[in-house]
Every structure is written in structure tokens, then in C-alpha cells.
Amino acid sequence: MVSESDRRRRRRARARRVTGLLAMVAILAGLLALALAKVNISELGRALGHVRVGWIAAGAAFMCGAFLARAESWFAAIRAAVPDCGIGRATVTRAMLIGMAGNTVAPGRLGEAARAWLIARRTGGVRDGLAKVVGTLVAQTLLNVTALTLLAVIAVTGSALRGAHTEAIVLAAMLPLGIVLVLVLGPPLLGSAQALGPGPLGRMAGWLHRQLAEIRLGLSIARTPSGVLHTSSFQLGAWAMQLGTCYSVLLAFGLQHRTGIPAAAAVLLAVNVTAVLPLTPSNVGVFQAACIAVLAPFKIGAANALAYGIVLQAIEVASALALGIPALAHEGLSPAQLRRGASTVRE
């Protein structure tokens, strides 16, 4: 029998989902109206009609390779963090592909929580192993920030970001250092705070101390030079392949003579920075707006830039779903089960 409190909780959950859906629809409608106000529809159709399919196929191959390289990087981090759990490369690869597919169909980057849950449940218990798995995600995040900084340097030195503030790039470069300082200095400080006693503040400090300690275990990959080389080379290699996708789509539209690698780097940087706080599944709308803004200084019209953004995102989504759906089927999970698992991580 369902209690009244459970019914109220379900009603609140349904209300949040409806509110989120309405907000997403409103955002998409606003972005679509803004885009169409500046786009000549006939030019958009002409640009899409003359795209070179061969370069699109090359871009898709680069994107699939990037997903698999990220999986290999994550496998190296997990093997260092939980060496005795028996998690194989194929399992980690499936979890990564499922997570990437989840990010394309659900707002709020649900796929990140889903892939953490898929691995944590194989470590002897979701709650016991989750912090270590999150630690491996932190390791990948540090490498991602490093890659974004390199993309910003390429874009700025190539004049792709005219008028860009170098202070923002310096700040981005310092972000990994800040995360490392928190992980290094946090546990000792929180250990001292535990001396406050059994009160609420002491209990909270104790909980945070345990979580940070587990996350630091997830960064065990940094203890060996070979491990660092393994995970970083594949993670940064994945970014290089995604850069190849961005450039391949420029070639598909014949825009490379006006743009080049710096513009591809600027596009990749912009769409990833705007995805930090995703408003819609795959950041649809925001993704295309970022492409229009980045390509405008190269005298690329809004119609061509929008066509570029549509095709680039279509490659990403199609590649993620083509690899992620079979991986989900192999795990024997339904989308509903995956959502429930991801929600336990977020809680």
C-alpha cells in the first residue's frame, strides 16, 4: 500500500518533470525564433543540399573514435582506482557509450550519472564504490579542462576568437589546479573539523572527509607515470578526434578556406563551454547559437553557420545513439531502469 507521503513525493516529482519540460520547450522556442529571425531559409536549404557526404562520413568516424578513446582513458583510471573489482574493458566501454547516448536524449547530462552508476554497481555496492568512480570522473574532468585550455590557445593564436580576453583562458587553466588543491588540502582540514565533536557540523565534516578520501582513491591513476600517460593520451586523443570532426564538417560545407583549424577549435571550445549548464537534451539550440557566434567573425553567414551546427550536432547524436543503444541492450537494461540508477547517484 502506497503511503500518503509517497504519493505526495510522486506528485512533486511529476510536477518538477512537467515544469522542466515546459521550460525546455520555452527555451527551444525562443532560440528557434531568434535563429530564424536572422536566417534566410532558402540559403539554409541550399547549404544543407550541397553538403559533401564523404566528409560527413569522415566526421562520424572521428566522433565514434573519440567515444572509444574516452572509454579507454576511463578504463585506465578505473583499473587504477579499483584494481580488484574485475571490471573489464568491454564493461567500461559499454558504460561510457551508454552515458554518451544518455547525454544526447536527456537534459542535465543524465548520462554522466548513469555511467557512474553502471560501474559503481559492479564494485560490490553502489554506495561503497560510487565515490571512487566519481574520483575517476574527476580525473577525466581535469584532462577535459586541460584540453579546453589548449583549444582556447589554438583559437586565440589563430585569431578565431577576436577580442577574446586572455584572462578567461588563464582562469580556465587554473581550474584544474584549484580542484587538485581541494582534493589535497580538503581531507586534513576536514579531519581537524571532526574534532568539533558529534554535533551536526562535526558529522558533516566527517562525511565530507570520507567522500574526499574516496574520491582521492579514484585519482589513483596519478600515482604511476605509465597510468598518467595511458589515460591522458587517450583522453586528449579523443579531443583531437573531435577537433577532426569539427574540421571535417567545415570541409563538407567548403568553408575551410575562410576558416581552418583555429575556427574548428573555437567551435569545439564554444559548444563544450555552453554545455557546462545544459538547458536541453544535447543542448539543442544553444549548440547551434554557439556555432553561429563563433563563425560570424569569419564572414560565415547565419544560414551557413546554422547548417554547420545542425550537421555537426547530428553527427554527434547519431554516433552516440548508434553505439549507445546496442550497449544498453547488451547490459539488459531498459531506459527506465537506467534513469532510476542515475537518480540514486544524484541523490
Residue 8 maps to a domain: no
Residue 12 maps to a domain: no
What pLDDT does residue 64 have?
A: 97
Q: Which domain holds residue 115?
A: 41-346
What pLDDT does residue 324 have?
A: 94
Question: What's the total number of domains in the chain?
Answer: 1
What pLDDT does residue 217 have?
A: 55
At residue 157, what is the residue type? T
Q: Is 81 exposed, middle or buried (0-12, 13-18, 19+ CB in 10 A)?
A: buried
- From residue 82, give the alpha-carbon distance in Å to each of 22, 121, 227, 286: 41, 12, 13, 38
Residue 20 maps to a domain: no
Residue 333 maps to a domain: yes
For the packed helices 89-105 and 110-120, what is the interaxial angle rounded to 10 degrees?
A: 160
Chunked mean pLDDT (size 10), the chain, 347 residues: 62 63 58 58 80 95 97 88 79 94 78 86 68 77 83 74 48 54 54 54 57 55 71 93 96 86 89 74 78 84 89 94 94 83 68
What pLDDT does residue 73 have?
A: 93
Residue 6 maps to a domain: no
Give this prediction's pTM: 0.75
